[in-house]
Amino acid sequence: MPACAVLSGARWCHKAWLCLLMALLISWPVEARAAVIRVAAAASLQHALPEMVSAFEKQSPHRLRVSFGSSGQFAAQIQQGAPFELFLSADESYVQRVQAAGLTQDAGVLYALGRIVLFAPTGSALVPERGLTGLKQALAQGRIKHLAIANPAHAPYGRAAREALQATQIWPLPKPARLLQGENASQAAQFALSGSAEAGILPYSLVVSPAFQGRGTYALIPDTLHQPLRQRMVLLTSAGAPAREFYAYLQKPIARQIFGRYGFVLP
């Protein structure tokens, strides 16, 4: 074979390898950086967290897949092997429970303190400004027949609602009034908004969202009537670098401003 043919073949192979290497260098870092972060979040965050997710995704190649529900149910799912990387609980006791099971990277961070409100949908006979005393009277007089709260067994906001009702001697409800318990705070809010309940004790963070505007009135319930709603978030053992980035983002001023706008007390 002529020397020129051998040289020409070698040059072709060298160029082919260079093209392949460049293609790998261009595509590999993007694939390596991009990830889907799986997050379990308390229902009280249903309106606040999406704003933070949107802002984060605009500056990051990562995407988030957020599931909203009751903190107690998420804690149980995580202990059963649910593939979450980050857990934002409405009650730090559930984070501590998961930590005790050896499923977290550390003790997590307190990100907010929650508040509950007495909410009355448009057309209800309840006047929230009269507080739980007014609710007690309306229940006794039969003007309010259904009260919506989240299930106290596994929803922290439902537990706080029960404590407030117990503190004002409304629990259990006087008959024939009925308690409508949602699986989480978001479902309890839907009971009130749909008219299934004439009143609800709900997270402040949900009631101040655009979904509630013009659909009823509310009044804050004194936080002295229930145990503090200390909301803690934690990275689970499966969390990778992308999840750690979002976890850090949630502690920055921009995220804290959003928490504050939705009625959360910042620690």
DSSP assignment of 18-60? HHHHHHHHHHHHHHHH--EEEEEEEGGGTTHHHHHHHHHHHS-
State yes or no: pLDDT of 227 exceeds 50: yes
Instruction: Give yes or no for a contact between 126 and 144, defined as CB atoms under 8 angstroms apart.
Output: yes
- Per the domain annotation, does 250 fall within a domain? yes
State yes or no: pLDDT of 36 exceeds 60: yes
Tokens of 175: 């008959």
Q: Are residues 218 and 121 in the same domain?
A: yes
pLDDT of 20 = 53
Q: Are residues 167 and 189 in the same domain?
A: yes
- In percent, the amount of the chain with pLDDT more than 90 equals 87
- Per the domain annotation, does 266 fall within a domain? no
Round to whole Å and give the CA distance between 21 and 27: 10
Q: Are residues 237 and 108 in the same domain?
A: yes
45-100 confidence digits (pLDDT tens): 999 999 999 999 999 999 999 999 999 999 999 999 999 999 999 999 999 999 99
Q: Are residues 102 and 127 in the same domain?
A: no
pLDDT of 219 = 98
Q: Are residues 59 and 143 in the same domain?
A: no
Round to whole Å and give the CA distance between 10 and 186: 67
Structurally, the chain folds into a number of domains equal to 2
Q: Are residues 79 and 91 in the same domain?
A: yes
pLDDT, average across residues 104-116: 98
Tell the residue number behind the tokens 């007495």, with chain if given: 118
Pairwise pLDDT comparison (248 vs 16), residue with the higher score: 248
Angle value at C-alpha 37, between 251 and 66, nearest 5 degrees = 80
Q: Are residues 216 and 242 in the same domain?
A: no
157-188 confidence digits (pLDDT tens): 999 999 999 999 999 999 999 999 999 999 99
pLDDT, average across residues 134-153: 97
- Per the domain annotation, does 200 fall within a domain? yes
pLDDT of 151 = 98
Tokens of 38: 């799986």
- Per the domain annotation, does 5 fall within a domain? no
- In terms of residue numbers, what domain contains 212? 114-225
pLDDT of 34 = 87
Q: Are residues 146 and 54 in the same domain?
A: no
pLDDT of 5 = 45
CATH number of the CATH domain containing 205: 3.40.190.10
pLDDT of 18 = 53
- Per the domain annotation, does 74 fall within a domain? yes
pLDDT of 187 = 98
State yes or no: pLDDT of 211 exceeds 80: yes
- Per the domain annotation, does 6 fall within a domain? no
State yes or no: pLDDT of 196 exceeds 90: yes
Round to whole Å and give the CA distance between 16 and 34: 28
pLDDT, average across residues 104-117: 98
- Per the domain annotation, does 9 fall within a domain? no
Report the interhelical angle of 241-249 vs 48-58 (nearest 10°): 120
pLDDT, average across residues 246-250: 98
- Per the domain annotation, does 26 fall within a domain? no
12: confidence class by pLDDT, cuts 50, 70, 90:
very low
Question: Coil, strand or helix: which one is 71?
Answer: helix
Tell the residue number behind the tokens 């990830």, with chain if given: 35
